[in-house]
Amino acid sequence: MCSQRVFSVAVIGGGPAGLMAAEVLSQHGIRVDVYDAMPSVGRKFLLAGKGGMNITHSEAQDSFLSRYGSQRSVLAAMLNAFGATELRQWIYGLGFDTFVGSSGRVFPTDMKAAPLLRAWLHRLRDAGVKIHVRHRWTGWNADGELTFVTPETERAIRADAVVLALGGGSWPRLGSNGAWVSILEQQGIRIAPLQAANCGFDSLWSEHFSSRFAGQPLKSAVVSFTDAEGHVHRQQGDFVVTQTGVEGSLIYALSRYLRDTINAQGCVTFDLDLLPHKTPQQILHALTKPRGSASLSSHLRKQLNIDGVKAGLLRECLPVDVFNQTERLATAIKAVPIRLTTPRPIAEAISSAGGVTFEAVNQQLMIKNLANVFCAGEMLDWEAPTGGYLLTACFASGRQAALGVIQRLTE
C-alpha cells in the first residue's frame, strides 16, 4: 500500500501572519518549517503589546472593514472569514480571555503579549512546526531552491510551497526591513513603494518652540483638513508635540490622508481647534472682557484656560498682528494652522503602506508569476490604523495564504 505524500512548506517570517499560516498548514498534516532572520520570532508582536496588547477591535463589521480604505474590497473576504470574533475565539483556545475596553479595542485580560506568544509557540511545536531562527532569506538559487544565510553557513532549502510573511518596512531593528523588495522585483513582481503609515510628521517648528514644548500633549483636540482629493477630514483625539513636529493617536488615525496629501502637494496644513467645546462667539465674548493691566497671555489663561503648549502654538503659528485684533484671534483659536512638511522616516513608523500589489497575487494570495509562492501580512499592499486592525488583517491574511497553499497542493 502506498502511503500518502507529506507536503513540506517553508514559511519565511515569524510574525503573526507567518505563524498563523504555519498553524493552519500544520493542522492539515503538512510539514512546516518557519524561518526568521532574528534570534527569536514574534519580536514586533511583542513590541505591539508593550503598552497593552490591543489584539483587535469590537466595532460592527461594516465600520471595521472601512478602516482598510481603498483595499477594503480585497481584504473583506478574508476578514469576514477570520475577523475580530474568530480571533477572540482563537485566543480563548490558547487559554486566554479577552475584554473590550472603553474605546471598543479588544485586549487579553492580562494585557500582555508575551504569555500569548509563548502559549502559541508551544502549541505550534507540539503540532510539529519547526522554527529556524537567524536564517536570513536571500532569494532562490538556479535550481529553484530557497537560499538562506545563517551565522555559520549558507543553506539551500527545497519546499513544495512557500509563504512569504516578511513584514513591511517599519521597525527594521526587529526584522521588518523591507529587504525582500529587491528580491521580488528581480522576479518581475510589482511592488508598490513602501511608505510610513501610522507615523508622526515634521513641521517647521522654531527652536524656541520645540525646546520649550517638545513632549507636551494636547488632549481632546480637533483636527480638520482637506486632503488632495478634496475630502474633508475632521477628527477629535489626542496628540503630542515633538521636537520636529507632531505624533500620537489622532495623527496616526489621519496619517494615510496626511501622507498622501503631502505626496501630491508637497505639504499639508491642518486646522487645530484649541477649544472644541466653545463656539467662536463664546471665545470672542471671553476675549472682550476687560483685562486692565493684565497681559494678553494672562487674559487667555484666565478667561479661556489657554496656556502652556496651547499658548505656544498660537504664538508659533499665527501672525503677530492677529494678537492685536480680538475678532481675528477668536476665529484663529478655533483653527490654528499647523503645516506639515514630511512624514517621519519609515523606520520610526508603527507600520508601513505599500508592498506586493494585489494585482500581482490571486485570491488565494499566490504570486501569479511565481507558482506555489504566497504572500501574507504587511508585505502586501494595504494599511490600516492602530486599534487592532493591523494585527487582525495580518492573522487573517496568514490564514488565507495557508488555505491557498492547501488548495494548491491538494488539487
53, 89: one domain: yes
Q: Is residue 334 part of a domain?
A: yes
Q: Do residues 15 and 130 both lie within one domain?
A: yes
What CATH number is associated with residue 375?
Answer: 3.50.50.60
* Confidence check: pLDDT of 100 > 80: yes
Q: Which residues contact 173 (CB under 8 A, 6 or more apart)?
A: 347
**Global pTM?**
0.92
Q: Determine the Cα–Cα distance for residues 56 and 202; give it in Å rounded to an integer.
A: 29
- In this predicted structure, the answer to whether residue 131 has a pLDDT above a threshold of 50 is yes
| Domain termination site, one of 343, 360, 378 | 343
Look at residue 3 in the predicted model and tell me its pLDDT.
58
Look at residue 272 in the predicted model and tell me its pLDDT. 97
Structural domain including 299 reads: 201-343
Is 187 found in the same domain as 335? no
As a whole number, mean pLDDT of residues 212-230 equals: 95
Which residues, in sequence order, are bridge partners of residue 11? 34, 163
| Same-domain pairing of 332 and 391 | no
Decide if 141 is inside a domain: yes
Instruction: Encode pLDDT of 379-407 as tens digits.
Output: 999 999 999 999 999 999 999 999 999 99
The whole-number pLDDT of residue 292 equals 86
Let me know whether 22 and 162 are in one domain: yes
Domain count, the chain: 2
Query: What integer pLDDT is reported at residue 48 of this predicted model?
Result: 84
Burial of 265 (0-12, 13-18, 19+ CB in 10 A): exposed
132-160: average pLDDT: 97
Q: Clarify whether residues 400 and 356 are in a common domain.
A: yes
Contacts with 40 (C-beta within 8 Å, 6 or more apart), sequence order? 14, 133
pLDDT tens-digit readout, 308-317:
999 999 999 9
Instruction: Give residue-wise pLDDT tens across range 39-60.
Output: 999 999 998 888 789 999 999 9
Residues 214 and 331 placed together within one structural domain of the fold:
yes
Question: Mean pLDDT, the chain, as a whole number?
Answer: 95
User: Is it the case that residue 1 has pLDDT exceeding 50?
Assistant: no
In a domain, 404, yes or no: yes
**Domain shared by 392 and 301, yes or no:** no
Q: What is the pLDDT of residue 291?
A: 85
